[in-house]
Structure 1
Amino acid sequence: MSEHIQLTGTVPASCNGKRLDQALAELFPDYSRSRLKTWITDGCVRIDGEPVDKPREKVIAGMELEVNAELVEEKRFSAQPMPLDIIYEDDAILVINKPAGLVVHPGAGTPDGTLLNALLHHFPAIDQVPRAGIIHRLDKDTTGLMVVAKTIPAQTHLVSAMQEREITREYEAVCNGPMTAGGHVDEPIGRHPTKRTHMAVVAMGKPAVTHYRVVERFRNHTHLRLRLETGRTHQIRVHMAHLRHPLVGDLTYGGRPRPPQDANPELLEYLRSFRRQALHAARLSLHHPVTGEWMSWDAPTPADFLKLVKLLRADRNDHAKE
């Protein structure tokens, strides 16, 4: 299936001398720059009735622009009935509390059973939106809040807001080692030079900034609240490992069990059996893509995370009495 798109507009004075793709982006903000560029190179755009295929073509105020294109659906994925913990929903967006173990998008080794498959079942029309409206991801074993766009205009707005750092994402985490104070990490992240499935702090990586503060200290662990400025793959996990405070349960980045000395058997066993990174996307805040209203949501901390904190707190308190 595909949808025919027909758009017309006059180049405004503010776009005089600009590139064609820039002018189209200003005239038709419901569509992403990359999509508009594709339509130009595919010959779907005319200037004053003449076809053009170069995105860098300069335009002059008063020129008439016309787009005739097909909005082709991307690769088809199957809709699957799966439970979704929906925190908020309207005609433009969905906010979901993702559980641990749920993969966001089909890929190698996970052809289905993902959040995307569940979204297609919950709202079939979302198959007209690239990536079923998913604009950011959480790792398989990270819990918490994600926003999903239900329309192309909402997706275009939210992707831009994400790029402009206008969406606030706050996390809770438990890391190994006692941290004395909060701070921030401003280190670029890119693909690990030898472990291709891992990310790492590398000189030629993309800019990445993570802010963190201490919520509670334990004998050999720290409960943190973190805020992302950027959204690189595995960003919090990589940055905390870079500080030599990897997240509890994150075996990929060095978060093997590090129990405090003389820990009780229950804590020892729980740390050994905690097989996911102790990371939860706790709060999400953004301007609504249609109304502009500033909205914020909080996701309850999952039970396994709460039990981890409870056991670490009990261990600290027990040893403080000695």
Structure 2
Amino acid sequence: MAQQIELTDTVKESQLGQRLDQAIAELFSDFSRSRHKEWLLAGKVQVNGEVVTKARIKVMGGELITIQGELEDEERWEAQDIPLDIVYEDDDIIVINKPRDLVVHPGAGTPDGTVLNALLFHYPEIAEVPRAGIVHRLDKDTTGLMVVAKTVPAQTRLVRALQKRKITREYEAIAIGKMTAGGMIDQPIGRHSTKRTLMAVNITGKPAVTHYRVAEHFREHTRIRLRLESGRTHQIRVHMSYLQHPLLGDIAYGGRARIPKGASEELTEMIRRFDRQALHAAMLRFEHPTTKEEMEFHAPIPNDMVVMTQALRDDTKQNKEEYN
């Protein structure tokens, strides 16, 4: 049995002149373009209360878009007994602290062993919610906080809040190089032109904004805190690479080992062996989808990043004269 889902949003003034299918793709980016097309052709899309099936009509800005869609059951995914670190849960939501080496959603090359499979095991009723309630994702080796919805209404409201930038996500990271100050990166992100599994800053991509501030300086690295306005695939990793300050351990985006001059053998080995992007979703703040209460959660920095940070800190102190 298919699940019913209702999506509502207003076309932004900045979307003036866009085709309807383009506007829908931006407003409801949690769903694929093929899904949007399917809903349009099936007469599931309304513009200001009138059913529209033509993708090519132009929007002017201010139109109310409503989609009364359907999503297939997720029964093809297997429930698996995979431990979950539950930070909070109630009748509507679950907040988890995701470890490294755990993919969020099954896909090409990872048919199971994911957060979704774990959710189906621990909460069998969540099979009734599209994508087992997953609202947003973290990369396989990125650790930290995720919110999951237990019901369709909760998921719909959380996805809408995410689209309207009402969910605050703050990350801790270690970047390569000496960063002098914080700032904002406002660069669109799309699929890499030749490496199809990677993303890149691309003028034809989707808008993406990342805010960052310097938390601590080291000799050849910088500890930073980041906040996302948008949620594009690999966004922080791509934007930091664009700044020429890729994340420590992020080989895919240029984060090759940089050893401070005269570093100890121990630190040199630690940097070379750090085998994931040094990125952690440390804080999550949002309005509860049912009670409307503002909720804020924090996840402690994982041990590998704590140990690395302390080693870089000690190295900086030991080489204070050179650093200054």
**TM-score with structure 1 length normalisation?**
0.81
> For the residues of structure 1 that align with 2:241 and 2:72, how far apart are their CA atoms?
42
Q: What letter matches 1:149 in structure 2? A: A
Q: Which region of structure 1 is more displaced relative to structure 2, 164-173 or 106-115?
A: 106-115
Q: 1:226-268, CA deviations, whole angstroms, 9 ceiling, x for partnerless residues?
A: 0000000000000000000000000000001001101001110
Name the SS for the 1:104 alignment partner.
coil
Secondary structure in structure 2 of the residue aligned to 1:126: helix
Report the CA distance between 1:54 and its aligned residue: 5.0
CA contact (8 A) 2:98 2:143 kept: yes
Distance 1:71 1:274 in 2: 40
Structure 2 residue runs of 5 or longer lacking an equivalent are 7-30, 55-67
Aligned residues of 1:41 and 1:53 also touching (Cα < 8 A):
no
Distance (Å, rounded) in 2 between the aligned partners of 1:154 and 1:174: 34
Task: Give the equivalent residue in structure 2 for 1:291.
Answer: 291
> Matched residues in 2 for 1:231 and 1:301: separation?
21
Three-state SS of the structure 2 residue aligned to 1:157 is: helix
Distance 2:51 2:186 in 1: 40
Q: 2:12 corresponds to which residue?
A: none
- Structure 2 equivalent of residue 208 of structure 1: 208
Q: Counterpart in 2 of 1:116?
A: 116
Partner SS for 1:161? helix
Matches within 5 A, 1:21-40: none
Q: Deviations over 1:58-94 (max 9, x none)?
A: xxxxxxxxxx998741352110111100000011111
Which of the two has higher C-alpha Rg?
Answer: 1
**What is the rounded CA distance, in whole Å, between the counterparts of 2:80 and 2:232 in structure 1?**
29
> Over residues 21-69 of structure 1, what are the superposed CA-to-partner deviations in whole Å (9 max), with x where a residue is unaligned?
xxxxxxxxxxx9x999967855799xxxxxx97558xxxxxxxxxxx99
Q: Give matches, 1:141-156, under 5 Å.
A: 141-156=141-156
Residue identity opposite 1:252 in structure 2? A
The sequence identity of aligned pairs, in percent, is 62
Whether contact under 8 Å (2:74, 2:132) holds in the other structure is no
Between Structure 1 and Structure 2, how many residues are aligned? 280
State the match for 1:23 in structure 2. Answer: none
* In 1: Cα distance, 2:304 partner to 2:99 partner: 11
> Partner residue of 2:17?
none
Deviation of the 1:131 alpha carbon? 0.6
Structure 2: how far apart are the matches of 1:168 and 1:2?
31
Task: Provide closer, same or farther for how the CA distance between residues 266 and 160 of structure 1 changes in structure 2, counting only shifts above 3 A.
Answer: same
Look up the SS of the partner of 1:185 in the other structure: strand
Q: CA deviation at 1:107?
A: 1.1
Q: What code does the residue aligned with 1:274 have?
A: F
Cα distance change of structure 1 residues 268 and 124 upon mapping to structure 2, 3 Å threshold: same
Segments of 4+ moved more than 2 angstroms: 34-45, 52-56, 68-72
Q: Distance in 1 between matches of 2:142 and 2:69?
A: 39
The CA distance in 2 between the partners of 1:204 and 1:105, in whole Å, is 26
- Equivalent pair of 1:168/1:227 in contact (CA under 8 Å): yes
Partner-residue secondary structure (3-state), 1:313 = helix
Distance 1:268 1:54 in 2: 61
Identify the residue that residue 137 of structure 1 maps to in structure 2.
Answer: 137
2:234 maps to 234
2:196 pairs with 1:196:
yes
Aligned residues of 1:210 and 1:230 also touching (Cα < 8 A): yes
Distance (whole Å) between structure 1 residues aligned to residue 94 and residue 272 of structure 2: 36
Runs of 5+ consecutive residues of structure 1 not aligned to the other structure = 8-31, 46-51, 57-67
Q: CA RMSD in A?
A: 2.7
* Local SS of the residue matching 2:319: helix
Partner of 1:173: 173
Partners of 1:198 and 1:71 lie apart in 2 by: 28
Q: Matched residues in 2 for 1:219 and 1:141: separation?
A: 25
